[in-house]
Amino acid sequence: MTAEFTSFAGNKRTIASDTARTASFNEIPIISLKSPNAELIAQLRDACTRVGFFYIQDHDVPQEKIDKTFKIAKSFFAQEKEVKNEINYKKSRILRGYEPPAEVRTDETKKADLNEAFNWGYEKALDPERRDSDDEETGNPLPIPIYPTSPPQKRPNP
């Protein structure tokens, strides 16, 4: 059964199924970004549709940058809820920003989800390979990105 999916930005896609299925796995997939493209795409599809998450290796992101990102994230989430809610995802037309615990339900028949998140997405202005491109598919659907005012190292640099 196929279904049409429309994102918050208005993009439409046909998906293979809109029915959840039981995943069967005994380990979290580890995907190398140095795999040939066809193999990489197949591994990503399998991990996303069968497991729901994965580890990436061979990404060439320096450990120092990873550590700094975790430190900034911990600092952001340690703030008072009033500070985090200044950039609540409901203030963004495509739901980017802070998502408090118990505010979202993935299943309306069950209790609210207790996770806390910061939702973000692709920004053409930060992509050195696409910044000057006229490709409509890569455009940022949110003209004014939403970022926290603190901690001060919160926004990526192009």
**Contact predicate 150/83, CB 8 Å:** yes
Among 2-16, 23-37, 41-55, 143-157, name the one with the lowest average pLDDT: 143-157
Domain boundaries, the chain: 24-60, 61-158
Burial 69-97 (b: 16+ CB within 10 A, else e): eeebeeebeeeeeeebbebbbeebebbbb
Among 42-56, 115-129, 135-149, name the one with the lowest average pLDDT: 135-149
Distances (CA, A) of 147 to 108, 133, 155: 29, 24, 6
- 13-28 confidence digits (pLDDT tens): 777 765 655 667 788 9
Cα Dmax for the chain: 47
H or E, element range at 42: helix 37-46
